[in-house]
Every structure is written in structure tokens, then in C-alpha cells.
Structure 1
């Protein structure tokens, strides 16, 4: 199934032995446009700490009860490496997290709980080796769904709107579409644009540029959230 991220934010994260907290936001990889982590707000049971949970641990979201099950225990999460989500997430922190939970490093989820990780490219293998170095830098391809919401969307011939939401597939947790609000140009219309059509992202000026014309966006089917 596909879900808009805004409907998942605030859902209860349910471990095998009780609730962990609430979905606060999502981190995604800006090269593959796949969800890398849920940022979970653990609430009062764990002194309000925020933790990262990989899609490897996700079950199927249950929208009626607004819960996302995970194949973890509360004690596992309590004893997990402490990562300050208010600061850049460093590769060495990710490596510690994946080693602790025995999660695949990149991709290869193979459905709900994952199977064997995909073979690493030379660059990824080097990055994994570098992750253990104390001077490792933050993961520059890890982006916050909350941060990117509101980015300006540009067609090849002009601005068309802004990012309002993201649609994700719960089989491999890939971002299938950006939900774009064209209110400043086409009043009241929202459209879905695939990351495959992105020409470039200008992170410095908060803009996403697509290989599309304004006319093609204008003639596209309107997105109905229902």
C-alpha cells in the first residue's frame, strides 16, 4: 500500500511488549529516495528521548488504530546507541546503530522485515569502512521529511508550487511521489510528481527542479487524498 507521510506522523509505534512512542518524522536518502529511518519520540517512559528505527523493523501500518508495529522490544530500544537527532547524524552513529540491531546497512529490505542486504557499491563499501573512523562526517544524503516539506517546486519553465507531502510504499519504503500544492499557480490543485523526474535539488535555496513543463503539470491528474 501507499501512504502519505503526514498520515503516519503521530502514529503510535508498537513494540512486541508495549508502545514505544510516536512517529515524529522520517529521514530519507536523497539519492535513492527511500526511507532510512523513522524518528520516534519515546515520550515519558524513556525521558522523552528520540530514537531512530529502520524500515527493516517495520510491520504494516494500521491506519484505523494509527499504529505501526515494529519487531523490537522496549528494552532493545532503551539500550540502543544514543543518537542526538537534533544534530547531524554521523555515519559512525549509523554504523553503531546497525551493528547493535543487526540491520542491513543499505537497501535489500525484501518486504516487511528484510532479508539479505543488497551488494554494496565500491563507494558504499568505502563509506561503511569510513563510518568507524572517529572523524566521520554527517551523512549528507540523509534528509528530514519535515525539513523538505515546503520546498519550492520548479518546472523547466517556471515555479509551480511547493512540497506539501510525500507518498511512500510500505513494501520497500520508497518515496513514490512528492505531493505538490500548486495553490499559488493553479488554485486548489494538488498533483503527484515522481522523484524519477527530478533534474536536481538545490538544498541551499530549498528548491526542487523537475524535467517537466508547467503545461504538463497543469494537464496532469489532480491528486485526491481520499
Structure 2
């Protein structure tokens, strides 16, 4: 099912042995746009410490109860590797977390291919910006939903709105859509939905997402109503509209 990260932020986190804080943020891998971790706010016991739960342990959220079931115990969280709340998530920390929970790393292992064989690298849904401040120091491809929420949207003819939400498929925690709100930029107020396949690039230094579309295309795009679930009929109309536009380029 496709779910809103914005709506799930603040859900009560339910461990195997009882409630344990609230959903605070979602960290996604910018190379695949898959949510890798749920970050939770655990209360005074973990004051000053970040708690990350790998997506392997996330169960289906309960919309009605606004609960986020997790297949771990509170003791699992209390004994997990320490990460200061002011410290970015490094690849070394992710490695220690994988070892602690006994799960496989999600990033590919670097290896030398046999002679005469060209290594294959899957395509990235977005191009990385040419320069990211302190990127080499961060040593990570993780990005925060709370960070990207609010980024400006830049069309080919100027800015037109901001990122309001992200939609994920909770079967594999793949980010599939960005929700864009144009109300702060244009005389016509509209909320639209964009597939990550239609994005051009994302810049963390400029705090903006670039799309290869004109403002006029967004103005006439099918409107998104967050009070309704995203169903197949709506997605069909959405793809037909954008595929016609992109096919003309």
C-alpha cells in the first residue's frame, strides 16, 4: 500500500513488549530512494541519542490507531550502538548497526570484476548535485525526509512550489512519489504528485528539486487530494498525462 511519510510522522511506535516513543523521521537512501531507517523519539531515557530502526523490522502501520508496529523489543533498542543526536549517520555506524541486528548491508560490496567483464551499476533515479557541502565527511547516501520536506521545486521556467510530502510503498519502503504544493509560489494554488522518475536532479546545497517540466505542465496536471488513497485509476490518469508531455520532448 502507498503511504504518506508526513502522515506517519508522529505515530506511536509499538515494540513487541509495549509502546516505545513516536516516529520522528525517515531516512532514505538517495541512490535507490528506499527508506532504510525509521528514526524514533524515545523519551528521556535516550536523551541526546538517535535511535534508528532498520526497515527490516518495520511492520504494517495501523492507520486507524496511528501506530507503527516494530518487530523488536525495547531491550533491543536500549542496547543498540550509540549515535549522538548531533552526529550524521556514517557508513561505519550503519555497519555497526547491521552487525548488531544481524542483518545484511543494503549497499553493494565493491569488488574487482573478472578481466574483460564490465561491472554493472543500476541507474540512479536522480543525478547527484555536482557539489555537496561536507558530503565527503558524511560518508553516507542517507537523507532525511524532514530535511527534504520543504525543498523548493524548480521547473524549467522558474520555481513553482515546495516538497510537501513523500509517498512510499510499504511493501518494500520504496519512495515512489513526491507531493508538491504550489500555494506559496503561484496565483493558482494546487497540490500535485510527481513520480521520482520525472525528477531531474536534487541539490542539497540549494535545497531544491529540479524537474524537466514547465510550470504550465504542473498547472494542468491531475490534482492530488491527500484525503483520498492513491489508487490505480488515479495513477493511470497521472501517467497518461505526464507520459504525453515527456513524449513530446
Asked if these proteins are the same fold (TM beyond 0.5), I'd say yes
Alignment partner, residue 160 of structure 2 = 160
Corresponding residue for 2:196? 195
Q: Distance in 1 between matches of 2:144 and 2:76?
A: 24
| 1:74-93 equivalences in 2 (<5 Å) | 74-93=74-93
What RMSD in Å do the two structures reach over aligned CA positions?
Answer: 1.8
1:65 maps to what in 2? 65
Instruction: Give the superposition deviation at 1:203.
Output: 1.2
The offset of 1:212, in angstroms, is 1.8
- Distance in 1, matches of 2:57 and 2:139, equals 21
CA distance in 2, matches of 1:101, 1:201: 32
For residue 144 of structure 1, report the CA deviation from its aligned partner: 0.9
For residues 1-226 of structure 1, what are the structure 2 equivalents within 5 Å? 1-47=1-47, 49-106=49-106, 120=108, 122=110, 137-183=137-183, 184-226=185-227
CA distance in 2, matches of 1:49, 1:169: 29
SS at match of 2:97: helix
Report deviation, 1:89. Answer: 1.0
Q: Over alpha carbons, which structure has the higher Rg?
A: 2
- Between the aligned partners of 2:47 and 2:186, the Cα distance in structure 1 is 45
Encode CA deviations 1:142-192: one digit per residue, 9 max, x unaligned: 111111111110112221211111111100101111110011215331001
Q: Which runs of 5+ in 2 are unaligned?
A: 112-135, 228-249
User: C-alpha distance in 1, partners of 2:17/2:163?
Assistant: 37
Equivalenced residues, count: 202
8 Å Cα contact 1:88-1:139 kept in structure 2: no
